[in-house]
Amino acid sequence: MLDSSSGWACTCMRRSFSATVLLRRRAQILAPVRTRREVRVFLPSTEAARHAWVPPETLDDVTDLSSRYGSRQRPRWFWPAIAAIGITLGIAFAAWVGFQKDPVTGRLWGYDVVSDTQVTVKLDVIRPDPIAVTCTVYSQAADHSIVGEKTVDIPPSNREKVRVPIEIETERRGVNGVLRTCVPAD
């Protein structure tokens, strides 16, 4: 068998699975070595690897890989440029989100467990413009399950910071009060 496309000259007397596997493994291990004047080709065989010298004139019809398969389609700087553009867009998006000012900010000022069925939560609502705000608070039990929740509409005010007490009715004893959201009212 002669495989001229890869430059290997292989001979095989019998074809069996084990001989084919042996030849493929040897072909992967033994690679042709090129020098300036001549090319050394290893011919794997079943008995031993033999050395043969191939003169350079026989390689005239062999082409290099770029002429056989085509050259690179994209220049070397293409993927680094795409990565730089992606990083720049990511940093710009992070800066835009980070420096964007929220129209309303709610902060939990404190809570008080009044009884087994009631928790009082105090919120600080900060809004630069006098707009109506909707805040949602809830209370949790000792096992972190939600035992009560309440949504409150806070009317517009001339003051920027307003403290609002909210009473939450609970189904069993709550141990804390938590602020879920404070958003401008629709």
Dihedral (C-alpha) 140, 145, 150, 151: value to the nearest 10 degrees?
A: 110
Residue 178, helix vs strand vs coil: strand
Using an 8 Å Cβ cutoff, are 185 and 131 in contact?
yes
User: Which pLDDT does position 93 carry in this prediction?
Assistant: 96
Amino acid at 37: R
Q: pLDDT tens digits for 58-90?
A: 656 666 777 777 777 788 899 999 999 999 999
Between CA 122 and CA 111 the distance in angstroms is 6
Q: Which CATH number fits domain 105-184: 2.40.160, 1.10.10, 2.60.120, 2.60.40?
A: 2.60.40
Task: Name the pLDDT band for 179 (thresholds 50, 70, 90).
Answer: very high
Q: pLDDT tens digits for 123-153?
A: 999 988 888 999 999 999 999 999 999 999 9
Count H helices and E strands in the chain, helices first: 3, 11
**Which residues, 6+ apart, have CB-to-CB distance to 158 below 8 Å?**
130
Please indicate, yes or no, whether the overall pTM of this predicted structure exceeds 0.85: no
Break the chain into its structural domains and give their ranges. Answer: 2-69, 105-184
